Structure 1
Amino acid sequence: MEIGPYIKLHRIQQEMTQAELAEGIVSSAYLSKIENEKTEASPNVISLLCTRLGIQLDNGTDEMIREKLQEWFGMLSTENDEEEITRTYQELNQVMYNNHSADSLVMFEIHKIKYFLVISEMDSALSQINKLAEMSGTFDSLHQFYWYKFKGNYNSLNSEFNQAMRMYKVAEEKLNQVDLSEEEIADLQYVIAVTHSKLRNTLEAIEYAEKAIATFRTIYNFIRCAECHILLGISYRRIRMYDKAIKNYNLAKHLGELKQHKHIIQLTNQNLGYLYSTIGETEKAIFHYEEIMKEERILLFERILAATSLIKEYHSIYNFDKAKEMVEMSQSLLEEVHDEERFQLFYYITYTYDYAINQKAEKFESFVIDEFIPYLRKHKDYANLVIYANMLAQHFEGNNRYKESVKYYKMANSTFEELVSL
């Protein structure tokens, strides 16, 4: 980065206007030309601007800072304790604006986006993106690679998958212009594969997952291999290649067990349960969901997901006692929830079955028709819409209310056709 954009970055960081920085040194218009590389200022002017900003252009400690930055960047790319990541961030934040080079500072500012995403501060990540947007035109190819990749990460976490893909593709275009590790390239290929999966581009998801796993195998990164196997399992399930899907899930589970990685193990159990449920092997589905429930040290989300999955499986084989037990378990777990929006689907599933099992017909009907189905439509959750429209239709059919039954069977059928066409 040249000196003009470097000065601009510091000015923005310190929330200083051009007029405030330029006062008594140059005009605001001239400062604008310096910042946007439209003129080359004298060394004296540059020195005065830097002094007002409290920055130095040369510092002997910069190599140490670069090493610390690389350590922190690595923390953001792997599983690390959030407290350690935050502690290192705070240390760097205290020294970066005194001990720096232009390149180190820009890389730090761009990686702040990833940091805020890692600690789940989406608003801060967006604020950082907006702050750097006016600087992005001065980024070199390496800066641009991370800039677009991390913006893609933000879009993906915000469920804006088409925009995420656009960002990732621009980052991918930079690969032949920058010197990156094989692991960094594989990570981009993996997130592209995940995004293709979210967009239901199944063949493309397989292509990119295979590229990523080829690299992760050569560097013996078993956890990243496991993540790719899970993604491949999901992709093969979608195109009904069930044997390949099961093989990939089991490979992921084996790697998870090898590294004693609880999250990978539970994720493969959840996906195996879903696959067996899809092909009608209910007992196998129940086995894998119960494996999750046996593990005490899992995330609340995973536990509630398994509990609601078991409600559906037990209900499908008319084991209403076990289904009711799982309903009560899910209700108890939902009381621990703080992020209600994230767990809303589980709430709807739990109480739908609660009302159905306990034969609270009026509550069941109003709850599913007035709340659950509109929620599923809003979130374009077609798979669940098929399930619960069918459930409602069967309920009306069982009560000899055939006109209403036909209405919801039609809804289920039309939604299924829409789902197949995705």
Structure 2
Amino acid sequence: MGTLIDIGSFIKLQRTKKDMTQGELAKGIVSLSYLSKIENKKTEASPEIIQMLCTRLGVQLNNDLDMTIREKCQEWYSMLFESTDKKKIIATYQEIQELMDSNLSENLLMFEIHKIRYHLVLGEHDKALDKINELNELADSFDHTQQYYWYKFRGNYNSTIGEFNQAIKLYKLAEEKINKVDMEEAEAADLHYILAVTHSKLRNTLEVIDFAEKALEVYMKEYNFRRCAQCHIVLGISYRRIKMYEKAIKNYNLAKHLGQLNKDNTVIQLTNLNLGYLHSAINETNQAIEYFLEVADDEQVANSERLGAITALIKEYYYLKKYEKTEEMISKAEAILSDTETGVYYKLFEYTIKTYTYAINEEHEKFTSLVTEEFIPYLKDNNDHANLVVYSKMLAEHFECIGKYKSSVKYYKLANETYEELINL
């Protein structure tokens, strides 16, 4: 069974999982100090002692069963990246957990590390953080492969909670491990794709293009249409941001074509959403609205994408002075939010809906208070330059309309300075 490092870590992990003290485990088998040395990899215990400790922990050493556990784990790890069937992911997890609870397996640490990813897939961010904290004291004993996933999944966690710079640092540490382990090309491509997406959040356009093209090269060889499409969407977003609109449209159309070939509605509608943003950016409002409506009206689309489309429609209709349509979209967004377990990710949608509700109802005090005291500080904290330009300008126009010219100048200035920053990013 495994190495000295493995045995010590496994025993410590199983003991803490069962809420057993070192004293309770060691009693009648070894001294407390000797057990501490085993758990901290400072000594190698005899097979007889290991067997007695395992028996007390209620686990057994079974090499034949370990092959089954390994195969089950590999199947589950793949599901965490490819499958959208959460029921199957949960059922397989529970099956493996039962095996792990009664067998000391050399797959245990990798299984525990993958639980970070599992909780993130299920949207259980607090549980993912708990798992990170629990594994932190064992991290020194991880081999290179375990360290790779440890850094990668912690990066996933930081990205999920909006800490993109920290996520990139962790992904870079994971990337350093790739050269030290026998990693499949597809795994490296996945990391490069994640790096592209995370750099995109920070508007690091050149890095996005570099990492997305590296990932795309591998996915094309493997005929992974879904991932190819996702890379084209990320590239399209970057080219849109640097105003290379033809290149952006070409990438979006490639993504949409791959989505249609693969009958992948998620990819098709994500492309439509981004085509909407592009046409909005070049003031082709009617085309933008058509694309946004495609997404907004599709109940199969994830709530986050639908809300993205609906809040975009709120803005388009408001600036066209189509106030009935604006109100219709506000109601639609509110209905989706009321059925959604909102968190940090949905804060932008909530602020957007409130802002336009107050604007359309001419609730001037509420509008001013919300945008100046909450929304603009939120956008600054999140380095959301694009929306900061939109809402600073909206606030400036509002102050201009009600004759508060000093305040108006202040927010026009903020909008212009932010726009300068945006184009220099």
The one of 287, 291, 294 aligned to 1:288: 291
1:108-119 equivalent positions in 2, closer than 5 A: 108-119=111-122
| 1:219 alignment partner in structure 2 | 222
1:338-357 equivalent positions in 2, closer than 5 A: 338-339=341-342, 341-357=344-360
The one of 403, 412, 419 aligned to 2:422: 419
The one of 182, 205, 208 aligned to 1:202: 205
1:102-141 equivalent positions in 2, closer than 5 A: 102=106, 104-141=107-144
| Counterpart contact for 1:65–1:100, Cα < 8 Å | no
| Counterpart contact for 1:161–1:198, Cα < 8 Å | yes
Indicate the larger mover: 147-156 or 40-49. Answer: 40-49
1:380-419 equivalent positions in 2, closer than 5 A: 380-419=383-422
| Counterpart contact for 2:76–2:92, Cα < 8 Å | yes
| Counterpart contact for 1:65–1:99, Cα < 8 Å | no
How far apart are the structure 1 equivalents of 2:386 and 2:19?
48
1:152-231 equivalent positions in 2, closer than 5 A: 152-231=155-234
Alignment identity in percent? 57
User: Is residue 266 from structure 1 mapped to residue 250 from structure 2 by the alignment?
Assistant: no
| 2:12 alignment partner in structure 1 | 8
How far apart are the structure 1 equivalents of 2:370 and 2:403?
20
Q: Name the CA shift for 1:134/1:348 in 2 (closer, same or farther; >3 Å).
A: closer
Q: Show CA shifts across 1:346-394 (max 9, x none).
A: 2332232233334444443334334433333343322212111211212
| 2:35 alignment partner in structure 1 | 31
Letter in 2 for 1:401: K
Measured after TM superposition, the shift of residue 16 of structure 1 is 2.1
User: Is residue 320 from structure 1 mapped to residue 323 from structure 2 by the alignment?
Assistant: yes
Q: Name the CA shift for 1:150/1:344 in 2 (closer, same or farther; >3 Å).
A: closer
TM-score, scaled to structure 1: 0.93
| Secondary structure, counterpart of 2:64 in structure 1 | coil
| 2:380 alignment partner in structure 1 | 377
| Counterpart contact for 1:149–1:167, Cα < 8 Å | yes
User: Is residue 58 from structure 1 mapped to residue 66 from structure 2 by the alignment?
Assistant: no
How far apart are the structure 2 equivalents of 1:408 and 1:346?
22
| 2:102 alignment partner in structure 1 | 98
How far apart are the structure 1 equivalents of 2:406 and 2:65?
78
How far apart are the structure 2 equivalents of 1:333 and 1:25?
59
Measured after TM superposition, the shift of residue 254 of structure 1 is 1.3
The one of 360, 365, 369 aligned to 2:368: 365
Indicate the larger mover: 406-415 or 333-342. Answer: 333-342
| Counterpart contact for 2:311–2:352, Cα < 8 Å | yes
Q: Name the CA shift for 1:165/1:412 in 2 (closer, same or farther; >3 Å).
A: same
How far apart are the structure 2 equivalents of 1:101 and 1:300?
40
How far apart are the structure 1 equivalents of 2:371 and 2:167?
33
Q: Show CA shifts across 1:311-360 (max 9, x none).
A: 21122233334334323433443443441654332233223223333444
| 1:303 alignment partner in structure 2 | 306
Indicate the larger mover: 238-247 or 352-361. Answer: 352-361
| Counterpart contact for 2:54–2:104, Cα < 8 Å | no
How far apart are the structure 2 equivalents of 1:37 and 1:324?
64
TM-score, scaled to structure 2: 0.92
How far apart are the structure 1 equivalents of 2:82 and 2:50?
40
User: Is residue 232 from structure 1 mapped to residue 235 from structure 2 by the alignment?
Assistant: yes
Indicate the larger mover: 230-239 or 54-63. Answer: 54-63
Letter in 1 for 2:49: V
How far apart are the structure 2 equivalents of 1:68 and 1:266?
34
| 1:142 alignment partner in structure 2 | 145
User: Is residue 89 from structure 1 mapped to residue 93 from structure 2 by the alignment?
Assistant: yes
How far apart are the structure 1 equivalents of 2:136 and 2:370?
45
- State the superposition RMSD in angstroms: 2.1
| 2:80 alignment partner in structure 1 | 76
Measured after TM superposition, the shift of residue 119 of structure 1 is 0.8
How far apart are the structure 2 equivalents of 1:41 and 1:252?
56
Q: Show CA shifts across 1:177-230 (max 9, x none).
A: 222222222111111111222232211111111111111111111111111111
How far apart are the structure 2 equivalents of 1:367 and 1:127?
34
How far apart are the structure 2 equivalents of 1:198 and 1:300?
19
May I ask how many residue pairs the two structures share in their alignment? 421
How far apart are the structure 2 equivalents of 1:127 and 1:334?
27
How far apart are the structure 1 equivalents of 2:323 and 2:411?
24
How far apart are the structure 1 equivalents of 2:369 and 2:146?
53
| Counterpart contact for 1:230–1:252, Cα < 8 Å | yes
Measured after TM superposition, the shift of residue 410 of structure 1 is 1.6
| Secondary structure, counterpart of 1:96 in structure 2 | helix
| Secondary structure, counterpart of 2:101 in structure 1 | coil
| Secondary structure, counterpart of 1:60 in structure 2 | helix
Q: Name the CA shift for 1:128/1:371 in 2 (closer, same or farther; >3 Å).
A: closer
Q: Show CA shifts across 1:162-188 (max 9, x none).
A: 221122112111112222222222111
